[in-house]
Amino acid sequence: MERKIRILVVEDEAPIRNGLMDVLVYHGYEVDEAADGPTGLEKSLTGTFDLILLDIMLPGLDGYEICNRIRSRDREQPIIMLTAKTSDEDIIQGLSLGADDYIAKPFSVAQLVLRIQAVLRRSRIGVDMEHHIRLGDGIEVDTRNLCGCRGQETLSFTRREVEILQYLSANSERPVSRDELLSKLWGYSRSMDIETRTVDIHIAKLRRKIEPIPSAPRHLVTVRGAGYRLLPG
């Protein structure tokens, strides 16, 4: 018998936490819970979960710090942050710490389930693409180990950043649109009408890592009105 997918819900508001657990159990997941930051961190680091739903505003320890500590131990753990904060700065902070996605409150059950499924799907698919990506300026990315270098500088990547580089590299002959990246890597369809700057934020983060001058990119370039291209050499 195939084991159930395990999800940890870290949320201090009981009605929201109980509602999330009911929805997830209904959809066939095995669910554990934590009502505060320290408990959430302990369970995250000692349990085995396929996904962690992590609220930002928590008593004792906030979601940003929990995410940061999880990532220092496990760079592969899928994490979705739940937030009432929707400013670019808040979103950037969560994604910069390594969250796979964020969901702004209030959210619909359908949106929640679809985005959980998308993150779980991406975490399980072995991307059948090259294991090393080489660009100019001495840049090399080891996609299996989520690391790389730019000359003598060591680089560290999240799984999602590597997925973006792999997809753009595999389609380097053409621009790849923002919608295509959302569809192929995040599993979102345009019909979901989700407002998100996730792609823009990840592209900006990647440029800070692989571009000598991020404001004037030479490798990860924008094609006006068409999308992004990864240029080798």
Give the distance, in angstroms, between the CA of residue 120 and the centroid of all CA atoms in the same chain. 11
Does the fold of domain 132-230 match that of domain 6-124? no
CA–CA–CA angle 54, 68, 99 (5° rounding)? 50
In this prediction, residue 182 carries a pLDDT of: 85
Alpha helices in the chain (DSSP H): 14-26, 37-46, 63-73, 88-96, 109-124, 159-170, 178-181, 198-210
In this prediction, residue 171 carries a pLDDT of: 84
* Residue 113 structure tokens: 């389930």
Alpha carbon of 113 to those of 3, 10, 168, 185, 192: distances in Å? 19, 16, 27, 16, 12
CATH number for the 132-230 domain, one of 2.60.40.720, 2.170.270.10, 1.10.510.10, 1.10.10.10?
Answer: 1.10.10.10
CATH number for the 6-124 domain, one of 3.40.50.2300, 1.10.3470.10, 3.30.379.10, 3.30.465.10?
Answer: 3.40.50.2300
Can you list the residues of the chain whose pLDDT is less than 70?
1-2, 85-88, 90-91, 123-130, 188-196, 233
Query: How far is the C-alpha of 106 from the C-alpha of 2, rounded, in Å?
Result: 33
In this prediction, residue 13 carries a pLDDT of: 94
Q: What is the number of H-type helices and E-type strands within the chain?
A: 8, 11
In this prediction, residue 105 carries a pLDDT of: 84
In this prediction, residue 51 carries a pLDDT of: 94
Order of strands across the sheet with 6-10? 30-34, 6-10, 51-55, 79-83, 101-104
Query: How far is the C-alpha of 83 from the C-alpha of 94, rounded, in Å?
Result: 10
Domain residue ranges in the chain? 6-124, 132-230
In this prediction, residue 86 carries a pLDDT of: 62
In this prediction, residue 124 carries a pLDDT of: 60
Question: What SS3 state is found at 55?
Answer: strand
How many C-beta neighbours within 10 Å does residue 158 have? 21
